[in-house]
Amino acid sequence: QQQVRQSPQSLTVWEGETTILNCSYEDSTFDYFPWYRQFPGKSPALLIAISLVSNKKEDGRFTIFFNKREKKLSLHITDSQPGDSATYFCAASGSSGSWQLIFGSGTQLTVMP
Partner 1 sequence: DAGVTQTPRHEVAEKGQTIILKCEPVSGHNDLFWYRQTKIQGLELLSYFRSKSLMEDGGAFKDRFKAEMLNSSFSTLKIQPTEPKDSAVYLCASSLPRGLDEQYFGPGTRLTVL
Which spans of this chain sit near partner 1 (rule: CB under 8 A)? 32, 34, 42-46, 49, 51, 89, 93, 95, 98-106
Closer residue to partner 1 (CB): 1 or 113: 1
Q: Minimal distance in Å, beta carbon 16 to partner 1? A: 29
Minimum Å gap between C-beta 101 and partner 1 is 6
Q: How is the beta sheet containing 62-67 ordered, strand by strand?
A: 4-7, 19-25, 72-77, 62-67, 56-59
Q: Residue 60 CA to chain centroid, in angstroms?
A: 15
93: which DSSP letter?
B
Pick the closer one to partner 1 by CB: 65 or 103: 103
Cβ–Cβ under 8 Å, residues 76 and 18: yes
Q: Give the residue with the Cβ less far from partner 1, 21 or 44.
A: 44
Shortest CB 96 distance to partner 1, Å: 11
10 Å Cβ neighbour count for 17?
14
